[in-house]
Amino acid sequence: MDTSTERYQREVAVGALTVRASRLRVADRGLCFGRIDATDGRRAYIGRVGLFDEQNDYTPLLVDWRAPVARPFYCATAVNPEGVARRRHFHTRGRDLVEFHDDLFGMEGHDSALVAALNAPRGDTMSDIVATIQAEQDEAIRLDPGGVVVIEGGPGTGKTAVALHRVAYLLYTQRKRLSRWSVLVVGPNRGFLRYIGDVLPSLGETDVVFTALGELMPGLSVTAADPPDTKRVKGSLAMVDVLAAAVADRQAALETPYEIELDDGSVWLDQDTATVARDRARATGLPHNQAQGVFREAVIDVLTRRVVERIGGDWLRPGEVDGLIEDLTADVRFELAGNAGLRAAVDELWPLLTPERLLADLFSSRTRLACAVHDEDDRAALYRPVGDAWTVSDVPLLDEAAEFLGAYPVRRRERDGVEYARRVMRMLELDREEQDEEFVLRAEDLLDPESLAERHDERDHRELAERAAADREWTYGHVVVDEAQELSEMDWRIIMRRCPSRSMTIVGDLAQRRSPAGAVSWATMIDRYVPGRWTYRELTICYRTPAEIMRLASAVLAEVNPILRPPVPVRRNGIEPWTRLVDPAGLAAAIDEATRVPDGGSVAVIGPDGLDVGRAILTPGQAKGLEFDTVVLVEPQRILAARPHGAADLYVALTRATQRLGLLHTEPLPAVLENAARERATIA
């Protein structure tokens, strides 16, 4: 039979081989995608991972794209060739080389490989851009690993891909540190995470936790959203004080004294006793649940002194030995400590609370809300009936509540471990019964189940990412936040709590902000945590949306914020957006016709919330971060009219297409689109 050490060594070896195999699987995506020939005659092949000739002094066979020597592959231009004489791109299909071509550096920063990639059909998941990274993107990817980096860019600038490639770059350059603490990638929803989930594995990186905002509390997977006003209130930093008040409201609010029955009479737990005990417990600074023990001991102290004074005054005479008082005190304390009535009183005056119970009790009680929230409108926004589902905006509040409350006394893992130990000891006992009892030492003669569980707390063999995702108190070596403009002040607290080192890549676009609790500026959110110590980079070139579509989107952007600049499209494709006014009864048929694209590719229908056309459609919020070859946008006027984020939603919807955009409407087009279409016709 294998020993535990041998099993552990075998599991470690299997784990190492699994990681190595996952990294080598990138060969199926085209292991080598390029070559650079230097002016001094040196040559280097560039690929998704590095390979070395182990039989020849580890001579590099393939250079990892993240290595410094690979940087000219992305940054060399005709104006600044960086010592490169030729840059060659390989086009592969699986492990087969289909074709290759050499760059002539005719377009600064934009080569034929890039144009081919931009015109390629989109799939169900995001592809890596490692073969076509541009100089502007490469600079952001390779920024110094320390501190907070904000990468802002309009639709199609590749900001999400840049952030993911930055993770791969940091895992390459900071492997020792990040392999211990893992990396957290936070996205707006699970659909978005599925879309981007293949990028890092395609680059050989698997030790990364992908999670949505509604999943940042282990055990929860929340997708429901609050109405705008409720979202605004819950997202405000003022909720920290609300939660503190809600916890304080559950501490020793005594209305009616408790009678505690003892063997020699009764003693009353009154308001004065509860107040003394409450003040002593709060003075420790312990979280609420841990402070219950202090509160209980303080109550016992006061009641013991009261009982001893009453009993001792009846039968102790002056000059009696002090030891009698000590004995009486000990007896009374012992009786109070085991008194069921006192335990029940303590549990009611200072209840052990989970974050879920604290928030559910608060939001479902107008009385509790009145104690914690001063503004009447805010109370109305927060109130909800018992049993309503959690929302995404509740998750940071639950996390904040966990900080105030502390751990529930019995953790599930500890309880399960002890129960397992009890079963083991029972098996040993049954085995002993079959032997000569006189010569067998019993397990319980040596240790109890709790001690056995502690001694047998073996190493956790789960993957690093799995362990990190299951632990609320896990702190990450680096955190990536996508669609960060949507995060509220409370969201930022939970994010910062996950990364004390403040090593972060924050990605977003203020022009696409939908949430009333989101960022108006990056400084308002970030300076609170790293004042003046964060780096900002803007991506200005749009690689997704052709110029014909971007002209419409730019007109809408001016409605969102006239100061914001649209990204500059890198290409034209000659396909103008079309519009079609249809009868409401024929809308479904018109959508079916518009989505039949002759040359295939991915197609999406985007429309306003609540639109019923007999088929699944995406709302602008669901489409955010995604891209499709063809987009059919339905009822743009209804999207624009949805306040307070209608203009931002319309901007998002207009910028999802990589090739074709069509607008179907039963109502007149928004004036901003009508004017842009008229201007386009005049120019043509």
* CA distances, 59 to each of 33, 41, 402, 435 (Å): 19, 17, 53, 65
**3-class SS letters over 474-525:** CCCCEEEECCHHHCCHHHHHHHHHCCCCCCEEEEECHHHCCCCCCCCCHHHH
Task: Give the mean pLDDT of 139-159.
Answer: 89
pLDDT band (50, 70, 90) for residue 124: low
C-alpha span between 210 and 126 (Å, rounded):
14
* CA distances, 245 to each of 226, 238, 372, 559, 629 (Å): 23, 11, 5, 41, 52
Task: Give the mean pLDDT of 475-491.
Answer: 95
| Per-residue pLDDT at 173 | 86
pLDDT in tens, 332-384: 899 999 999 999 999 999 999 999 999 999 999 999 999 999 999 999 999 99
- Neighbouring CB atoms inside 10 A of 342's CB total 22
Q: Give me the percent of the chain exceeding a pLDDT of 90.
A: 45
Least reliable range by pLDDT among 148-152, 460-464, 477-481:
460-464
Sign of CA dihedral 308, 314, 315, 316: positive
Sign of CA dihedral 522, 528, 531, 533: negative
| Per-residue pLDDT at 19 | 52
| Per-residue pLDDT at 413 | 45
What lies within 8 Å, CB to CB, of 328 at 6+ separation is: 308, 311, 312
pLDDT in tens, 580-619: 999 999 999 999 999 998 777 899 999 999 898 888 899 9
**3-class SS letters over 161-223:** HHHHHHHHHHHHHCHHHHHHHCEEEEECCHHHHHHHCCHHHHCCCCCEEEEEHHHCCCCCCCC
C-alpha span between 469 and 247 (Å, rounded):
27
| pTM of the predicted protein model | 0.77
Task: Give the mean pLDDT of 242-249.
Answer: 97
DSSP helix/strand/coil, 537: strand
Least reliable range by pLDDT among 80-84, 310-314, 327-331, 544-548:
310-314
Least reliable range by pLDDT among 90-104, 334-348, 564-578:
90-104
Comparing 11 with 210, which gets the higher pLDDT?
210
User: Are 523 and 510 in contact, with CB atoms under 8 Å apart?
Assistant: no
Quick one: DSSP state of residue 318?
Answer: T
Quick one: DSSP state of residue 378?
Answer: H
